[in-house]
Amino acid sequence: MASDGAYPELPRNLYLEVTNRCNLKCKACILYKGSWEPPRDITLDELIRITDQLPALEWIALHGIGEPLLNKDLPAMIRHLKNRDVSVQFNSNGILLDESRQSDLIATGLDELRISLDAASHQGYKAMRNSDQFDQIVKHLRSFVDRIRRQPLCHLKLSLWYLGTRDNIAELPDFIRLAASIGVREVYLQRLVYFQDDDGYGVATPQKTLMDLDGKSRELVNQSQALAKQFDIHFNASGMAAPLESVRTDPADRSSWRKCFRPKTLMYITANGNVLPCCIAPFATSDYSSIVLGNVFESGLREIWLGSGYQKFRKTHQTNTPPKCCRGCGILWSL
C-alpha cells in the first residue's frame, strides 16, 4: 500500500480490544485500580467495519484490557479474520479455556494463544492474581496441549507468559519446569509497566520492578535460561529484549523510545473505540486523555491515522521529551 506523501501507510498490524471486561482483578493490571472506560464488548459487525478499513491488514491481536474469552462473538471474529488470511492471536488468563472453547478455538484456525499465568504455584497465583483458579487453569492447559497434539493439521501455537516482579521472580525456575510438564515450548518473561506520573497501584510500582540491585534476580533468570535449554523450551522476553535485559540496571541508550516502531506501524483500539498508540500506553501514564488519538466510532481510521493528533504524537515521540506513555520504553521496560 502506498503511503500518503510523508505520512506512514495505514497499519498492517492491529490490537483490537474485543472486551474490557475481565473475570480477574490482577494486582499488576489497571483494572485493579479501576477501568479507564465503561465496560463494553466489540461486536462482530463492529470488528468487520473496523478491519475493512485496513485492506492490507496482516496481523491482529484480539486483546487489550480484559479477557477475550468473555466475548461470545470471539470464534466468529477469528473465522472472519482467517478468511482474510490475517494472522490472529490473543492473550488469555485461561480460566474459561474449557474443552468446548478449546475445540472452538482450534476450529477457527487461530494462530496463537498466549496464556498469562505469572506464577508456578497456587499460592503464587493467589498473591499475584487474587484468584484460586491456578489448578483449574493448569488442568485446562494440559487438556489443550493434548488436544492440539491429537490433531496433526492444527498449527496453533501456545505460549506461557510470566510478568516478573520482586514478589514472584523466585518462582520463575519452577515456571519453566511447569511449562515443560504441561508440554508448552514457549515461555516469555515480561517486565512490569507502571505509571511514572502517579503512585501506582497493586504491584505496579517502581519498588516492585526487577531492576536488579543484589544480583538475585539475575541469578534466577540465568537458572531459568539453563532449565529452558535443558527442556528444549524457547525462553525469551517480551518486545525486543532478552530475559537478562529484564534485570539490567543501566540501559545503554537513555532515549531508546525513539527506536519504537509502533507509532508508524500499528494501532490499538479499545472496546469503546478509542485509538491509542500501543497496548503499553494505558499502563504507563495516569493521564489517559493524553493517549487517546481518536475514536473509530466517530471518525474513519484513515482520518485518525493521518490526523493532527497522531502526527503530533509521532513528532514528539522522536524528541528528548516524548509523550508521557513513552518515557519508560526501552529503559524501564522493553520496547
Cα dihedral: 138, 141, 143, 147 (round 10):
-170
- Distance set, CA 109 to CA 10, 88, 103 (Å): 25, 9, 11
- The per-residue pLDDT for 251 is 59
Asked whether the predicted pLDDT for residue 250 surpasses 70, the reply is no
Q: What is the mean pLDDT of the chain?
A: 93
Average pLDDT of the residues in 264-268: 95
- Is the pLDDT at 131 greater than 90, yes or no? yes
Of all residues in the chain, the percent with pLDDT exceeding 70 is 93
What are the tens digits of pLDDT across the range 102-130? 999 999 999 999 999 999 999 999 999 99
Q: What pLDDT, on a 0 to 100 scale, did the predictor assign at position 27?
A: 95
Instruction: For residue 29, give the 3-state DSSP assignment.
Output: coil
pLDDT: is 134 or 249 the higher one? 134
Q: pTM of the entire structure? A: 0.94
Beta carbons within 10 angstroms of residue 213's beta carbon = 9
**pLDDT band for position 66 (50/70/90)?**
very high
* Distance (Å, whole) CA 180 – CA 176: 6
Give the per-residue pLDDT at 245.
75
| β 59-61/87-92 pair status | parallel
